[in-house]
Amino acid sequence: MTREGSLRIGSRLEIPSREIAVTFTRSGGPGGQNVNKVETCAVVRFSVRDSRSLDAAQRARLETSLRSRLTSQGEIVVRADRYRERSRNEEDALERLARILAKGLERPKPRRASRPTRSSIEHRLEKKRRRSRTKRIRGGEDS
């Protein structure tokens, strides 16, 4: 996962660095005067809609699974300011982007229908009978 080459996601997908925009901004929070002068916070942007390395199925899957993370232009934005060095923050942001994309591309496990056990059905029906009996007794003459 180098900036010069490309970003590997899983074993099949590789995103060239030209599709990933990296910018740097000033980090917030504590850090003294240095934090006001040095731009160490890495902001990584990747456009799902405009990417040539994604096929139509991958693009559709990412747009649905990462809907809440995408901007209105269809970009994923990852901001990293955990470290004090630019290079480490850039590396961190790229790793997080790779994890987000890998998780977004995972196929959801199909749900297999299950049946309740015989004992759970009997238990549920017995509880209903008990509750019905209680309500009948409490109801008095009008029921």
Taking only the tens place, the pLDDT of each residue in 30-45 is 666 766 677 878 898 9
pLDDT by residue (tens digit) across 97-138?
A: 988 888 888 888 899 999 999 999 999 999 999 999 999 999
Quickly count: other Cβ atoms within 10 Å of residue 17's Cβ: 14
State the CATH architecture for 6-105.
Answer: 2-Layer Sandwich (3.30)
12 Cβ neighbours under 8 A, 6+ residues apart = none
- The confidence score (pLDDT) of residue 2 equals 45
- The confidence score (pLDDT) of residue 67 equals 84
Distance of CA 19 to the CA centre of its chain: 20
Instruction: Report phi then psi at 33, rounded to 5.
Output: -70, -30
